[in-house]
Chain A
Amino acid sequence: MSNLAQTFGALRSSQKFQKRFSVAVRLVIAVFLIAFSIFPVLWIVSASFDPSQSLATQTSLIPRNASLQNYQRLFGKDPNYKFGDLVFQKWIRNSVKVSGISTILSLTITTMAAYAFSRMRFKGRVAMLKGILLIQVFPNLLALVAIYVLIFQFGEIIPALGLNTHAGLIMVYLGGSMGMNIWLMKGFLDTIPRDIDESGMVDGASHFQIFWHLILPLLRPILVVIGILSFIGTYGDFILARILLNDVNQYTLMVGLQIFTAGQFDQKWGVFAAGALIGALPIMIIYLLLQDQIVGGLTQGAVKG
């Protein structure tokens, strides 16, 4: 009997040891993985403080003579540094403006459409829902030529909506907003009990009143998630903005950074690093703060675009 107890005890302690050992091994692996994950970020932080600003001269992770010179150059505060195509503040402003406006408008479009799909029954409803999903199969990247021609022709008639305008770009973004997000939003709306609507109807409220006063407040969490994902998606978009905007003062941040780094990249490394950090940091912080909500949105099928 005691023999058996001893054996069990030994087994348990060895299991405990095994467990500790495995945790330790996994922690070591974690350190390597984290090194792989954040190494480029650390390196770019270092480069941004390294005044030598060339790729060739950055040799250690801790910069010698660390200074804010690259940031001063980025914001045009360094009189000795002239680079014609660098108007960083404008790019940031353009990016925030374009992403902000298209996010708000596309949220409005999406939420109202999803409300109708969720709460009303009409002919062609299922066909339309399927159709919206099907159309997304055709990436608008493939229709670049057509979109370019379309915006060009728009501009010939209404110059304010043509090539090289933010309004034209925002219109194109809105064209792509009736997609997966409608499904996400409709799925969320379907979980809101219909009793809420019915109580409103009993009081004689119109559809719009019900939507505005009863449903919309309940949608706040999903609106935040979809809004952030769509803001980040638009903020990070490169190709549409690249073909539709052609003036350096109109560029979004992504287009500006890409064009800035197009030639003699190794000589602009430091300034690029500063710009990359400023451009990426707000997005990183949002992601890390809201990672649980965003992961929730992901597992429902949203793919980072």
Chain B
Amino acid sequence: MSQVLPQQPKKRSGMTEESLLSRLMRVVLLVLFDAGAVWFIQNALSKGFDQLAIIIGVIAVMFNIIFLLPQAYPLRWMAVGLGFLILFTIYPIIFTVYVAFTNYGDGHLLTKEQAIPLIEKQVYLPEGGRSYSWTAYRNEAGEYALWLISPEGETFLAKPGEEILPAKPGDPGVGEADSKGIPVSLEGYQRLNTLLAATDKNLPNIKFGLEGDQIIQIRNPNEAAELQIRFKYDEATDTVVDQSNGEIYYNVNGTFTSRSGKTISPGFRTVVGLKNFREFLTSPALRGPLVQIISWNFIFPTVSVVSTFALGLAIAIMFNDPQFPFKKLIRSLLIIPYTIPGLISIIIWRGLLNSEFGIINKMLNAVIGTAPRWTTEPFWAQVAILLVNLWLGYPYMMLISSGALQSIPSDIYEAAVIDGATPWQRFRHITLPLLLIAVGPLLIASYVFNFNNFNLIYLFIAGGPPIPGAATQAGYTDILISYVYKLAFESGGRGVQYGLASAISIVVFIIVGAITLFQYRFTNMWEEVSENV
């Protein structure tokens, strides 16, 4: 006791006291980090990435607290990990929830602040107003130039993409004037005669002048006119007014829409409430494939878990005998499917099950004279997926079952034999219940994994064969997650729909979360935590 006591204070001081050098280094590193964070946030804000700026700010504040407060010392050990966790796991979750309530997607990719300047840039050719008479010139490369004369008699030279400047015949690069005061030629350009100019198909579409400065376009063979800004945004009423005809466009779910139903492109990102969820549940275009996808999304993991577990358990029981010959070799050969990267296995199976050339169909044709078309018939495509997943999944089940089998005490079996229990009774009433307690949580985890087994579904035949008449591309073997992927990243006829894809993600998350929480309850993982406190 007397030996321990004096050391007590020393031990404590060893934990909190750090050398001046290390303290200095900590502060210097923190200052450097803060400088970087401030620079990053400024950049993010200037590009309009407000959410990113906020989350980086949150992480930076967290880092400062952790590395300055002595009480937060334990958190220094996990600060970097927490930073990555917040940035790449938690933030995307929050972002996904947010996007689910917005119309983010094709036509609505920009923020309102980005979209309005683009809308206000749009111009139109006014019917009346100030106009010029024009003469066109063309060079060898097919580029055009215009000679403009205003009603007051001022003359200008206009080229696409260049500022329109006053010019006089005889200026450098400008030829001498003809009888009407129009230069006969421009340097490098040839004048087009009136007929040629009037019938030129390109000319009326060309915008002469510098964008943002002054743009002139040809209105008819006699007139060219300055284009005018078409839309003006009114912040007070949140409307856009069409200057050409006075029509008012109202903000309807991120698209400025007029009473008559006309819309202005681009639209912008905006919160649309439950629209995506409503569309997910009620849209007739989605409902057909969705019923099919959801029911298959439950059938597929259920059948997969039951079939892989049944086969894995059967193998484990069969070779559970420690004296069984070649036990190790048999196990090594049987876990081979588990050792191959999943993507490679799935593509191999795609080749083996190819309807026309695959070896399996060649063999079936040779032996029984007929073979299913695995990739084009919905039923057989589903069977093929389940078959491939049986091959992929049974070794895992075999490994966990044989581990669990060894933990069942053998005296229970001896007692059962004495009581005259048949092998089946022993399995049904001893092995299975005890085993399920041990591997139950892993079965649930496997169910959740297969519920979102994107790789298998997508890599095998990309969810096909397609469901006819589906509004979005959906196939008979699609599950929700592969459907989400297609909505978000493989724009079909309807374009990418991040909002709808995120809404479906949330639904999947709720299903998966419920199953997993049930699993945690079931496995008393929580209690394990509390025990170790």
Contact = CB atoms under 8 A, between A and B. Distances in A.
Tell whether A pairs with B: yes
Interface of A: 23, 26-27, 29-30, 33-34, 36-38, 40-41, 43-44, 47, 54-56, 58-59, 109-110, 112-113, 115-117, 120, 122, 125-126, 129-130, 132-133, 135, 137-150, 153-154, 156-158, 171-172, 174-178, 190, 201-202, 204-207, 232, 235-236, 238-239, 243, 254, 257-258, 261, 265-266, 269, 272-273, 276, 279-280, 283-284, 287-288, 291, 295, 298-299, 301, 303-305
B512 A139 contact: yes
Nearest to A303: B445
Contacts of B485: 144, 239
Contacts of A130: 526, 529
B400 A298 contact: yes
A288 B332 contact: yes
Contacts of B354: 55, 265-266
B44 interface: yes
A141 B84 CA distance: 17
A113 B81 contact: yes
B449 to A, nearest CB: 6
Contacts of A148: 489
A40 B445 contact: no
A219 to B, nearest CB: 14
A174 B350 contact: no
B75 A56 contact: no
16 contacts: A27-B326, A33-B315, A34-B333, A126-B533, A139-B452, A142-B508, A143-B92, A145-B96, A150-B52, A157-B47, A178-B78, A201-B11, A272-B347, A276-B348, A298-B403, A303-B442
Given A37-B336, A276-B347, A301-B441, 16 more contacts: A37-B333, A115-B77, A120-B73, A126-B530, A137-B512, A137-B516, A150-B92, A171-B87, A174-B81, A175-B89, A280-B344, A283-B340, A288-B339, A299-B403, A299-B404, A303-B445
B513 interface: yes
Interface in B283-338: 315, 318-319, 321, 324-326, 330-338
B313 to A, nearest CB: 13
Nearest to A236: B341
Contacts of A177: 81, 84
B80 A142 contact: no
B277 interface: no
Given A55-B357, A115-B77, A141-B452, A34 B85 contact: no
A59 B403 CA distance: 40
Contact of A142 (B96, B337, B445): B96
Given A120-B74, A145-B498, A175-B89, A280 B340 contact: yes
3 A-B pairs with the lowest CB-CB distances in the bound complex, closest first: A175-B88, A113-B78, A146-B92
A43 B441 CA distance: 35
Contacts of B340: 41, 280, 283-284
Contact of B358 (A55, A122, A154, A276): A55
Contact of A143 (B81, B399, B505): B505
Given A201-B11, A303-B446, A176 B88 contact: yes
Contact of A279 (B89, B344, B403, B498): B344
B95 interface: yes
A59 B361 CA distance: 11
B35 interface: no
B454 interface: yes
Contacts of A190: 532
B84 A178 contact: yes
Interface in B465-501: 481, 484-485, 488-489, 498, 501
Interface in B345-395: 345, 347-352, 354, 356-359, 362, 391, 395
Given A26-B324, A206-B15, A258-B343, A175 B318 contact: no
A143 B93 contact: yes
B396 interface: yes
Contacts of B75: 116, 122
B91 interface: yes
B85 A175 contact: yes
A291 B332 contact: yes
Nearest to B508: A142
B318 A56 contact: no
Nearest to A157: B43
B403 to A, nearest CB: 5
A166 to B, nearest CB: 15
Contacts, number: 276
B78 A116 contact: yes
| Centre residue among B74, B325, B359, B532 by max chain A CB count within 10 A | B74
A236 B343 contact: yes
Contacts of B96: 142-143, 145-146
B90 A135 contact: yes
B402 to A, nearest CB: 9
A265 B138 CA distance: 51
Given A142-B484, A288-B332, A26 B343 contact: no
Contacts of A288: 332, 335, 339
Contacts of B89: 135, 138, 140, 143, 175-176, 178
A13 B93 CA distance: 66
A153 B15 contact: no
Contact of A295 (B336, B347, B403): B403
B215 interface: no
A202 B93 CA distance: 45
| Centre residue among B18, B93, B347, B526 by max chain A CB count within 10 A | B347
Contacts of A41: 336, 340
B92 to A, nearest CB: 4
Contacts of B517: 137
B339 A23 contact: no
A232 B343 CA distance: 12
Contacts of A125: 74, 533
A139 to B, nearest CB: 5
B351 A109 contact: no
Given A59-B362, A239-B455, A299-B403, A265 B350 contact: yes
Nearest to A132: B85
Interface string B82-108: 101101111111011001000000000
Interface in B410-467: 441-442, 445-446, 449, 452, 454-455, 458-459
B522 interface: no
B508 A283 contact: no
A30 B324 CA distance: 11
Contact of B337 (A37, A129, A176, A269): A37
A133 B211 CA distance: 55
B356 A295 contact: no
A304 B508 contact: no
Contacts of B233: none
Nearest to A202: B7
A204 B10 contact: yes
B442 to A, nearest CB: 7
B49 interface: yes
Nearest to A243: B489
